[in-house]
Amino acid sequence: MSQESITRLNENEILFRDEVLKFARQTIAPHVSEMDESEKMHPDVIRGLFEMGLMGIEIPGDLGGADGNFFMACLAVETLSMIDPSVGVLVDVQNTLVNNIFKKWGNKEQQKKYFTKLAKDTIGCYCLTEANSGSDAFALKMKATKDGDNYVLDGKKIFITNAKEANIFVVFANINPELGYKGITAFIVDRDMPGFSVGKKEVKLGIRASSTCEVILDKVRVPQSHILGEVGKGYKIAIETLNEGRIGIAAQMLGLAQGAFVAALKYAQEREQFGKPISSFQGLQFQLAEMDIGIETARLAVYNAARKKDAGEDFVREAAIAKFHASSVAENVASKALEIFGGYGFIKEFPAEKFYRDAKIGKLYEGTSNMQLQTIYKLLETNAK
């Protein structure tokens, strides 16, 4: 990481980042290939994330958390993703989606019950997407029918990150489809509730150690006390949380790009052709310089969005810009890194092909690149009036 980037972090942030990177190199790096091949997160990695406090960064200290801020959560995601973006997204979903929902929308009883678990040893996940509601998130069909002091949830979610390992699920369902998006409500669902199950795990191109599964609710009875926020406010919770989550995904893509770049630069300085390192050829020097420019501008966008969020400023436009730009940079840098490795870049023994596979998801989840452009344009249009 460049000296210029370091100066944008305060002393505590630098120490935090360095500790996370040390942990990632010692605990995660030895398992990266194995986890990718087995499509499974190693238990030592999960255990280590909790022991490091990385699964509860913004959770208050008196509830077992690290008492940090949103920027630190993004910094952790970025740093972990330099080593393995699969681990980065595990931590991202826990912090920027699940923990943030409980922090902003959970009542005191819910926070006390669930924060202590989420900080200590329990993984959570965010269940919004359905077969016919992706970019059109509020077209969801899962129903929540009132029955006394309970709601009965019925339906299926797809592409749910962390579902295989999770025990706490934030599920969005509609209490009255006739109301459209105004009927959407957020529920806390525990894994052991009767009728709840995790379905098939998807086999993916990249971030293969990160679980992506179906979540099935077959007439699951959820107490009214498990509603997050208010009945019918689920759409607001989803929108606001996704805006925050997009910064986390941008941080993941930033870390991925940095990891691919570091590997490519090291290889270029060591690999010799025609009697000298390939990094001595101007054509390759220009490629590396362009990669560094992309990473630096992505870092500016990500850090700016995260800082604005922590400052309580409007950050929706900045979040969309960060996610769009960082995912584009990650895909470009990972592609160039693979080419710099040459034929070695195409085989699994070297890191370039995994970074290349992992990069593509950045333009797809938590809002496609086209959805980010739409968000940016709508804000431009609104501000022009």
Length of the chain: 385
CA distance 192 to 259: 38
- Number of Cβ within 10 Å of residue 270's Cβ equals 10
Q: Are the C-beta atoms of residues 324 and 362 closer than 8 Å to each other?
A: no
The amino acid that residue 217 corresponds to is L
> Which residues participate in catalysis according to the annotation?
366
CA distance 366 to 364: 7
Q: Which residues contact 71 (CB under 8 A, 6 or more apart)?
A: 13, 303, 306, 307, 309, 310
b vs e for 122-138, b when ≥16 Cβ sit within 10 Å of the residue's Cβ? bbbbbbbbbeebbeebb
